[in-house]
Structure 1
Amino acid sequence: MRKTHYITFRNFFHKPSPKLSTKPHPFTAYSFVPFSPVAMLDPTILTIGGIVLGIALIERMLERWGVIDLADQFEKVMRFILPVTFYGALFYFFATFMF
């Protein structure tokens, strides 16, 4: 017959158990997803973003100068280009990202 060991609630939380049932095993942990914010500074993505930003700034300057017809043409083109560029750059980032 086994002997029952009683421990108080306070000793249970503040002191280690007198007997360890298993031995702790040291192990090495590896990270399979190395992520660095510097990875977002990919030259291709920065170039595409700079071109899109430049076109948007040109459109705003044309509006200020009063060339509304040309600004409207830029707006129609950008309405299609911006989402395609964003999702394309997102796909490119995850396709070239080393997992």
Structure 2
Amino acid sequence: MRKTKWFTFRNFFHRSSLTSSMKPRPVNAYSFVPFSPVAMLDPTILTIGGVVLGIAIIERILERWGVIDLVDQFSKVMRFILPVTFYGALFYFFATFMF
């Protein structure tokens, strides 16, 4: 059983309480932001992005050298590969991301 403390109304309002009668409880803190930008540093995502960026740079270099036929072939292939790579990487990111 709990011990009951008795206070008169006058003593309750005029007395300064030095100790709290309530015990502090541990508080669970939750983050409202489930997404961390650090999660984008996944090595697979960085590798895929690096390969696509490298192919784009090679295409620009070949264009400056004047090899237009090869650049045209690269652009035809990249027109298909870029969207597939983007959606594949996006699917992989959300499939492996821990919420």
Provide structure 1 residue ranges, at least 5 long, that are not aligned to the other structure.
Answer: 1-25
Q: Partner residue of 1:57?
A: 57
Alignment-derived partner of residue 41 in structure 1: 41
Q: CA deviation at 1:48?
A: 0.3
Instruction: Name the counterpart of 1:20.
Output: none
- Structure 2: distance between partners of 1:59 and 1:28: 53
Aligned to 2:98: 98
Indicate the percent of aligned positions where both proteins have the same amino acid.
89
Partner of 1:67: 67
Residues 20-79 of structure 1 deviation map (CA, whole Å, 9 limit, x = unaligned): xxxxxx763434864211100000000000000000110111110000000000000000
**1:2-22 CA deviation, whole Å, 9 max, x = no partner?**
xxxxxxxxxxxxxxxxxxxxx
TM-score (norm 1): 0.68
Question: Which residue in the other structure is 1:9 paired with?
Answer: none
Q: Structure 1 CA distance, aligned partners of 2:44 and 2:83?
A: 17
Question: Is there any run of 5+ residues in structure 2 with no aligned partner, and where?
Answer: 1-24
Name the SS for the 2:98 alignment partner.
coil
| Cα RMSD for the two superposed structures | 1.8
TM-score normalised to the size of structure 2? 0.68
Q: Which has the larger radius of gyration?
A: 2
More deviation, 29-38/82-91: 29-38
